[in-house]
Structure 1
């Protein structure tokens, strides 16, 4: 039977139950991840559409036939079980703790298969990118009492309604009217944490124009205190119609601007 997964509501790491398994190093299981930088944590409350029953204690299902995974050389460790862990940009920027319930098969001394429920705890570090893997060794289904599959979670980024991500940088597109693009403006710029900052632009905003706000991107995993940049791009809204007088004024003011 494949291991089953569902996210559990969480508040902080101190509230984890005694059966909770955390990605911090431990003799058994021994979870690990590709990135270790960062320290800030915040909790999230998620549920995978209620597909899994609430965790109310261990349940068991007996089966007299042991499950074997073998080849010509004997019993070997089964392949890891991989599951996606979807995170928002806020989760990956500030860090969070995800608690996930799993159901797995455990083989008893008599060869019976017993279904156990356990809780895994993942501390998502600031700056993690999609594709980051967190592995809990030996926390998958057992095929013998000595061999159990690993459980690996792969970070996936949820699409953000405002920002895009390019490595350690964030990207933002702002719509502005043509008159502001030509005459300069001061714009309120949203930041990922919910704050806003004023951005003053004196240059003419032309197609391809980009403004860089340093230090307002994602945390970098190489340097704990370092962050990428916020790249602001502009979508210029042109008027759909002009009066004859407006056309004449535009020609008089701009003339042949290409010369």
Structure 2
């Protein structure tokens, strides 16, 4: 049974089968003690022979025919016991279990390595070329080191933790199959965006005056572009704006993308003059 393509497959134990059954037989010597009594009927013809009848009743010595029947019965029981154990042993015996493939060689657990990718690489896709050295066994049985080059085609929309498996690319060892090598996508932290599934989140800080009076701002997009966003309403701290279709590609939905969520942070002035305070009070007094 070929199990090469199964990952983290635990290897089974080799079952043990019963090679034979030892039977035990009991055998008798076939001898018994017998007492012969002369008949007294000739001496006392009118008196029944009590000794003969009582001896017949009291005698516990088995006859030859009894011993033969008993021996035959025990032999039959022993043969039945032997056949029963043989049937049980036959039922328990199974075909040996191979480990990882038809060769029966053990396959070590897979080797996992991190593959760092930026959000831009996961947004647009890219090719990653990886050089590494592994041990291989030559045709003459010599163990040498060989340079390998692997190419990984990173698909658009892949998420953190996505696994790419290369079968049998681990070190070779005598008597074992080479292990699989698994590369795990490790998403690098971005200075501006934070990923949530297929969506992106961007924090934008604006001055207090713009938050109160409205403004037009340039919102950066993943990849280097910008888009213009006009704010007409009053912006409170933590206020959010959703820009549709500017998130990460949906790997299972061709041509579809998540959204970009813009979170506003309000920048308050560090200090105000007395005149500014007075003006703010006059303007905002009674507005609540």
Pick from 65, 75, 80 the counterpart of residue 110 of structure 2.
Answer: 80
Q: 1:37-96 deviations in whole A, cap 9, x for unaligned?
A: xxxxxxxxxxxxxxxxxxxxxxxxxxxxxxxxx997574101111110000110000000
Of 241-250 and 192-201, more deviation after overlay is shown by 241-250
Contact 1:171 1:231 in 2 (8 A): yes
Q: TM (normalized to structure 2)? A: 0.62
* Distance in 2, Cα, partners of 1:210 & 1:71: 55
**Mapping of 1:94-113 within 5 angstroms?**
94-113=124-143
Aligned to 2:25: none
Partner of 2:194: 164
The residue that corresponds to 2:161 in the other structure is 131
Displacement of 1:108: 2.9
SS at match of 2:121: helix
Q: Tell me whether 1:147 sits opposite 2:177 in the alignment.
A: yes
Distance in 1, Cα, partners of 2:238 & 2:271: 24
Structure 2 distance, partners of 1:71, 1:114, is 31
**Normalised TM-score (structure 1):** 0.69
Secondary structure (helix, strand or coil) at the match of 2:151 reads: strand
Matches of 2:108 and 2:119 in 1, distance apart? 33
CA offset digits 1:193-246 (Å, max 9, x no partner): 211110011111102200111100100111110001111111111111112221
| Unpaired runs of at least 5, structure 1 | 1-28, 33-69
Q: What is the aligned partner in structure 2 of residue 220 from structure 1?
A: 250
The aligned counterpart of 2:260 is 230
Larger Rg: 2
Q: Which residue, 273, 277, 280 being the options, matches 1:243?
A: 273
Higher strand proportion (structure 1 or 2): 1
1:111 offset after TM fit, Å?
3.1
Partner residue of 1:204?
Answer: 234
Secondary structure in structure 2 of the residue aligned to 1:208: coil
When you count helix as a share of all residues, which structure comes out higher? 2
| 2:147 alignment counterpart | 117
2:110 & 2:173 partners in 1: Cα distance?
12
2:221 is aligned, of 191, 196, 199, to 191
Kindly provide the CA deviation profile for residues 142-185 of structure 1, in whole angstroms up to 9, marking residues without a partner as x: 22476110010000011111111111111111111000000111
Deviation at 1:249, TM superposition (A): 1.5
Task: Answer yes or no: is the 8 Å Cα contact 2:134–2:171 preserved in 1.
Answer: yes
Q: Indicate the structure whose relative CO is greater, using CA pairs within 8 Å and at least 6 residues apart.
A: 1
Consecutive unaligned residues of structure 2, counting only runs of 5 or more, are: 15-103
Using the TM superposition, give the Cα deviation of residue 104 of structure 1 relative to its aligned residue in structure 2, in angstroms. 1.1
Aligned length: 192
Cα distance between partner residues in 1 of 2:228 and 2:214: 13
Would the alpha carbon gap of residues 156 and 162 (structure 1) be closer, same or farther in structure 2, given more than 3 Å must change?
same
Cα distance in 1, alignment partners of residues 147 and 211 from structure 2: 59
The answer (yes or no) to whether the contact 1:139–1:150 under 8 Å persists in 2 is yes
Note the aligned Cα RMSD (angstroms): 2.2
